[in-house]
Each structure stands twice: as C-alpha cells, then as structure tokens.
C-alpha cells in the first residue's frame, strides 16, 4: 500500500457533519478546534439541543476540551443554508440508503461527500447515486463513546486513519482531509488502496466486536482472557483467508499486526456491545467476510456462529413496541 502524509491545500473551510455519534462527534470537535466552521446534523433532538446550548465536550486519551460548533440541527435544509465545502457522513452503514434518499436536501452537484463509516463498499453506494467524482472515502481507526448528549470520550486511537478516492480528480481534496485530521491531532494518511484498507478495518472489527457483544467483555478483557483471545485469533485467521482470496495481499506478518492493533484497544466497548445493551440496531460490519467467504468457498465458522448468536440476542433485547 502506498500511503503519503500531506499538507493542507486550503480547499476546506466549512463542513457539515451528518451523524453526531462517536465518530462524527470526534471529527466535528477536532476540526472545530482547528478553527474550521462545522455544522452538525443529528436526528436526536437531545444531541442537537446539548450542542447548541453547551457546545461539544471532549475527554479521553488526547485530553479534555470544549468547542462551540458553528451550528447544529436535525434539519438537512438548515445544513444546506450553511453552504458547506464538504459533507461528512458518519451515520451507520445500514442507515446510509435512507440518508442518500434525503441527501439532495443538503447536497448540490459539485459538492463532495466524505464517508467516515465502517463497512465495505459504502462509497460505491454513494457513487451509484451521485457519481464517482462525488465521494471521498475515509477509514477511521479511532473509537469513542458518548457519555451524555454533547459529551464524547475518545477511548482509543491506533494511527493512522486513511483517506482515498474513487476518482483521481478528488485526490487533492483527500490529501487535504488527511492533512487537516493530522493537524488536528488525528494522524491520517492518503492511500491509493482505500478498498484494501476497508477490508483491513473489517478484519480488525471482526476480531473482537462479536466476541465482546456475546460475552459482555470490553476489548481489553476479551483480548486478555485466554479463551476469548483464542476465539479472537481464530476469527482473525478465518477473516484473513477470505480477504487474501479476494486478491488483497496482506503480508506474512499481518496476523501479528492485527494482534498488536487489538492489544491497544483498551477498555473500550465496541458499538455492537453498546447496541445490544441499549436495544438499538446492531451494525454487522463484519458480515461481508461471511458473505464473501461463502462465495469463495472459504469457511468462517467462528465468525458466522457468533453472528448468529448476536442476532438472537438482538431479537431478545430489542425493546418491544
């Protein structure tokens, strides 16, 4: 993979961030601290109200600070009036299609859409609607949690993040996104192999997310307990086989790199665990590994079994209407 550190070219000054969850909130707060104008859109009125009244408070591994965003609303139309240079999307993957139906409320031809989501192939879904030259893709390697509306805690960051493009014309913009995030304290590189990085992040997510969701352990605990550590390693090996069969060379030491990455996750509860606890829909970002494994004849029994258990738990814990 060719990755490059970059310096800002001065294209981006005003940003709309759609999705005030952990990833979107950290992105919005760190770029606001860099003196960029950021407008946050979130469907949760309590989040919008907290950000409007008190700003966005950040705590965690990179210290504590509070920023005042340029605006916050549940309305995409209000975001359009903000006249953003770029629209950053930080909703969950399963929410993307519904958002794309409404995105013309804020999107205008010529604007660029920056995806900050987990998952594989989301950029293609955007490109199908708005063209390949409309989208820039980021793979995020930080994690956070929302303690209360308007307050986010950065729990771990395994640098760097990566940014790439579908259309070469967007390379300058992608390089600036990487430069801005790096300047803000979230080291990010431009890559020519963004699809590979999506699969790498999916493997890493598969390693511990389902184990934590089923056991209730946080990522550090799941990695330290011998039995769950062994399960994590089996899932990693299954997942690596799938991605290598897809044609992505990961290298002979990739398994050890995965273990190093996951060992630094700390006392973080992944989103699958949080969703089960709250009764909100689980984002199965590791599902593509199972799907592609079936197509290729590469079995993923550990990952598939845990996924079935999570689906059963999700049905049991989902609030009844």
Q: How far apart are CA 84 and CA 101, in angstroms?
A: 19
pLDDT digits (tens, 9 = 90+) for 224-242: 999 999 999 999 999 999 9
- Domain-embedded: residue 319: no
Number of domains composing the chain: 2
CATH number, domain of 236, equals 1.10.1040.10
Residues 185 and 203 in one domain: no
Indicate the residue among 192, 213, 238 that finishes a domain: 192
Q: Render pLDDT for 78-134 as a digit per residue (tens, 0 to 9).
A: 999 999 999 999 999 999 999 999 999 999 999 999 999 999 999 999 999 999 999
Residues 187 and 225 occupy one common structural domain = no
Task: Report DSSP letters for 223-249, one per residue.
Answer: HHSHHHHHHHHHHHHHHHHHHHHTT--
- Residue 148 and residue 44 in contact, taking contact as beta carbons nearer than 8 Å: no
Q: Tell me the average pLDDT of the chain.
A: 94
Q: Domain residues for 58?
A: 3-192
Measured CA to CA in angstroms, residue 172 lies from 9, 35, 87, 164, 301 at distances of 7, 20, 16, 10, 42
Cβ neighbours of residue 284 closer than 8 Å, sequence gap 6 or more: 272, 307, 310
Percentage of the chain with pLDDT > 70? 95
- Please check the confidence at residue 6 and state whether its pLDDT lies above 80: no
Q: Are residues 129 and 218 in the same domain?
A: no
In a domain, 114, yes or no: yes
pLDDT at 318 over 90: no
Q: Is residue 48 part of a domain?
A: yes
Closest CA to 165 of 194, 142, 185: 194
Instruction: Give mean pLDDT, residues 164-175.
Output: 96
Q: Is the pLDDT of residue 321 over 50?
A: no
- Residue 283 confidence (pLDDT) above 60: yes
What share of the chain in percent tops pLDDT 90? 92
Model confidence at 8, pLDDT cuts 50, 70, 90, reads very low
Instruction: Examine residue 154 and state whether it is found in any structural domain, yes or no.
Output: yes
CA dist., res. 192 & res. 106, Å (int): 29
121 lies in the same domain as 260: no
Average pLDDT of the residues in 293-298? 98
Please give the Cα distance from 96 to 266 (Å, whole number).
29
Contact of 42 with 72, CB cutoff 8 Å:
yes
Same domain, 102 and 245: no
Nearest to 128 by CA among 97, 86, 168: 97
Last residue within a domain, chosen from 158, 192, 226: 192
Whether 56 and 139 share a structural domain: yes
The structure tokens 């409309």 sit at 134
Please tell me the predicted confidence (pLDDT) of residue 311.
96
- Asked if the structure places residue 264 within a domain, the reply is yes
Residue 39 in domain: yes
For residue 321, tell me if it sits in a domain.
no
Average pLDDT over residues 19-41: 97
Same domain, 19 and 114: yes
Q: Which of 137, 165, 192 marks a domain boundary?
A: 192
27 and 159 belong to one structural domain = yes
Structural domain includes residue 111: yes
For residues 173 and 110, give the distance between their C-alpha atoms in angstroms, rounded to a whole number: 13
Q: How confident is the model at residue 313 (pLDDT cuts 50, 70, 90)?
A: very high
- Rounded distance between C-alpha atoms, residue 93 and residue 131, angstroms: 19
| pLDDT at position 5 over 60 | no
| Of 92 and 3, more confident | 92
Give me the pLDDT at residue 11, please. 82
User: Same domain for 183 and 228?
Assistant: no
* CATH code of the domain containing 183: 3.40.50.720
Q: What is residue 147's predicted lDDT score, i.e. its pLDDT?
A: 84
- Residue 80 neighbours by CB under 8 Å, 6+ apart: 105, 106, 108
CA distance 117 to 223: 24
Regarding whether 152 and 59 lie in a shared domain, the answer is: yes
Which range among 36-45, 119-128, 129-138, 311-320 shows the weakest confidence by mean pLDDT?
A: 311-320
Residue 251 and residue 284 in one domain: yes
Q: Residues 117, 247: one domain?
A: no
Rounded to whole angstroms, the Cα distance separating 318 from 321 reads 9
Question: pLDDT band at 1, cuts 50/70/90?
Answer: very low
């Amino acid at each position: 993979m060719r990755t490059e550190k970059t310096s800002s070219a001065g294209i981006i000054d005003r940003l709309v961030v759609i999705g005030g969850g952990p990833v979107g909130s950290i992105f919005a707060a760190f770029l606001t601290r860099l003196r960029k104008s950021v407008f946050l859109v979130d469907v949760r009125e309590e989040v919008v109200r907290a950000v409007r009244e008190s700003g966005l408070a950040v705590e965690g591994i990179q210290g504590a600070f509070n920023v005042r965003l340029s605006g916050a609303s549940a309305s995409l139309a209000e975001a359009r009036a903000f006249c953003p240079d770029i629209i950053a999307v930080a909703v969950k993957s399963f929410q993307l299609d519904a958002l794309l139906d409404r995105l013309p409320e804020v999107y205008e031809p010529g604007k660029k859409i920056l995806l900050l989501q987990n998952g594989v192939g989301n950029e293609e879904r955007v490109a199908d609607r708005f063209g390949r030259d409309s989208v820039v893709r980021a793979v995020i390697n930080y994690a956070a949690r929302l303690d209360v509306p308007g307050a986010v805690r950065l729990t771990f960051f395994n640098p760097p993040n990566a940014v790439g493009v579908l259309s070469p014309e967007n390379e300058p913009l992608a390089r600036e996104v990487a430069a801005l995030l790096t300047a803000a304290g979230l080291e990010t590189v431009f890559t020519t192999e963004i699809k590979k990085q999506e699969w790498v992040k999916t493997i890493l997510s598969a390693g511990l997310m389902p184990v934590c969701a089923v056991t209730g352990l946080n990522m550090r605990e799941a990695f330290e307990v011998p039995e769950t550590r062994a399960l994590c390693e089996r899932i990693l090996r299954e997942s690596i086989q799938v991605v290598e069969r897809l044609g992505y060379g990961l290298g002979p030491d990739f398994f050890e790199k995965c273990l190093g990455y996951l060992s630094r996750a700390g006392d973080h509860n992944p989103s699958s665990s949080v969703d089960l606890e709250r009764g909100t829909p689980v984002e199965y970002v590791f599902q593509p590994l199972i799907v592609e494994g079936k197509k290729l004849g590469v079995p993923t029994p550990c990952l598939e079994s845990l996924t079935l258990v999570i689906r059963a738990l999700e049905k049991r814990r989902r609030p009844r209407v």
